[in-house]
Amino acid sequence: MIIRLKNVSYCWPGQQQPTLNIPSLEVEKGEHLFLHGPSGSGKTTLLNLLTGINTPQSGQLEILETDIAKLSESKRDRFRADHLGVIFQQFNLLPYLSVLDNVLLSCDFSKTRLEKAGNAVETAKQLLLDMEISGDLLHSKVSSLSMGQQQRVAVARALIGNPEVIIADEPTSALDTDNRDRFLDLLFTESDKHGSTLIFVSHDTQIQHRFNRMVSLATINNVDNASDNNQINHNQADAK
């Protein structure tokens, strides 16, 4: 099991009620998991726990058999840099850096990722090509690219050095249908190449059929505003 949550509860500072109270969630190696929930239901809060940006007040949360809440803040940062490829909702690209340098950042922050990337510059260039970012854009400031292109740069940055887990927070929200489908093709192809596990968060249920498994946050989250008539939906036809 790559990810294992048991009785995880998280309450934002100053809030009366916990945002999350999750009795159980497990994700297997290589799974493409679609985590669905309406706006404000706690999807990003959950991803913040998975990435160790925040830590739960109670419960166990293991990623790659590591209880990340027990690590010091600096060890958590290192763990994230070494093992997780994160595509943030707002991309978090550095606007003043070039396209290429934004992708190489992942290797600057992690020796593990740098070693796994081989020739990092060549690997970054290939990933960008795979993401349909043409070579003449490599040295452009990333802020001069379109939203769709920036999204794909953020994916290349998440994928370089083959992290075991890819976590994506609503990465398709700014894309039209054609671009969204192509984007998903690229993301799946690249994550499958290295057997990476993909946790993909979205409120857009039109794309859920492309994933191995769909989990509704309302179903797994035991808080007052959670509805109890949603079902965990195993998309057997797409399972592989």
Residues lying near Mg ion in the complex (CB under 5 A) are found at 43-44
CB 155 within 8 A of CB 190: yes
Q: Which is nearer to Mg ion, 20 or 104 (CB)?
A: 20
Stretch that binds ligand ADP, among 37-45, 101-109, 132-140, 192-200 (CB under 6 A): 37-45
The Cα–Cα gap between 1 and 92 comes to 29
Which of 19, 106, 172, 196 contacts ligand ADP by CB under 6 A? 19
Give least dist CB 89 to Mg ion, A: 6
SS (H, E, C) 57-83: CEEEEEECCEEHHHCCHHHHHHHHHHH
Among candidates 173, 153, 41, 31, which has minimal Cα distance to 100? 153
The Cα–Cα gap between 93 and 75 comes to 23
Q: Pick what 161 binds: Mg ion, ligand ADP, none; C-beta below 5 to 8 Å, kind-dependent.
A: none
Stretch that binds ligand ADP, among 1-9, 43-51, 110-118, 230-238 (CB under 6 A): 43-51
- Identify the H or E element spanning 158: helix 147-159
Asked if 90 touches ligand ADP (CB under 6 A), the answer is no
85 - beta bridge partners? 166
Asked if 36 touches ligand ADP (CB under 6 A), the answer is no
Asked if 44 touches ligand ADP (CB under 6 A), the answer is yes
Q: Residues 6 or more apart from 119 whose CB is under 8 A from it?
A: none
Asked if 45 touches ligand ADP (CB under 6 A), the answer is yes
Q: Which is nearer to Mg ion, 162 or 172 (CB)?
A: 172
Asked if 43 touches ligand ADP (CB under 6 A), the answer is yes
Asked if 113 touches ligand ADP (CB under 6 A), the answer is no
